[in-house]
Amino acid sequence: MRPLLATALLASLLPLACADAPPADDASPPANAGTASATSTQDLPPAIIGQGGALEGTDLHYVDGDPLTTGYLAVPAGEGPFPALVIIHEWNGLQDRVRQLADDFAAEGYVTLAADLFQGRTGANPQENMALVREAQGNPEAMIANLDAAVAYLKARPDVTGRVGAMGWCFGGGVALSFGLDGVNHEATAIFYGRLVDDPEVLAAMDHEVYGTFAALDNGPSPESVAAFEAALRAAGIEHDLHIYDDVNHGFWLRVDGDPEVRTAPAADAWQRLKAYLDRTLR
């Protein structure tokens, strides 16, 4: 039943588009020695306010027999062991902002693998983005297997504690939810405005607390969809930390610099909630 569940859920993600997704960014700069540091109580990760620096991690081929799929690995300073994260890109593919955010999570003490669901490709406009999404959604089993491979790689590292979380934005948020229901065992699922599920019987497959950040001015998902998701989680007995932020729209958290006056305060609150969630689920 579980492979069929993955197929149904991933297929349901298809209509969702990331309205604020930017054009594909430039090629990644060379990796350099790590310089990022953990955020203080008031600070946001540099990547989401447009201040991400030169990339500090390395490209990684983590799917056996697939030389095209190219993730990005960021490792904290020190010997560890550390908890780990798989982060899942938006509908335009693995861009440098997500790589920079992987560096920021490494600075917070997480071995972080930014997954690649589009085999190294990125989109530069909505049409290209949706073509990549449709291609990926055409083989949902491969998407789950991709993320299974990411978790397996992380859990096999000697500097990882064995506890791994998955997180995504928009397209990636919906995929993270599906992966939490149908992928190999992992300990956390964080969703930023992704396609949701409102069937308690389906959500009962989740075996850990779920985090979610959403926007009141969003239609994908709408506040009504978030309310239905929360009701279904409650009916399924799944612990959760969900919040809808007023006055912001889709994509606000990953691109605070798009409207800093409006987005900074809710993004900071969502960041503190996220850090607390990762602490209690992965540490």
Residue 102: C-alpha distances to residues 110, 112, 125, 126, 240 (Å): 9, 6, 24, 24, 24
**pLDDT tens, position by position, 71-106:** 999 999 998 899 999 999 999 999 999 999 999 999
Q: Is the pLDDT of residue 6 over 60?
A: no
Any idea of the CA torsion for 49, 21, 276, 46, to the nearest 10 degrees? -20
| 3 state DSSP class of 49 | helix
- Find out whether 129 and 21 touch, Cβ atoms under 8 Å: yes
pLDDT at 7 over 80: no
Cα 198 from Cα 240, distance rounded (Å): 14
Q: Residue 62: what residue type?
A: Y
Which residues face 213 on adjacent strands?
Answer: 192, 243
pLDDT (tens digit per residue) in 159-182: 999 999 999 999 999 999 999 999
Give the number of other CB atoms < 10 A from CB of residue 185.
10
The residue among 113, 221, 104 whose CA lies nearest residue 159 is: 113
What CATH number labels 2-17+36-282?
Answer: 3.40.50.1820
- The tokens for 282 are 């992965």
Q: What is the pLDDT of residue 38?
A: 62
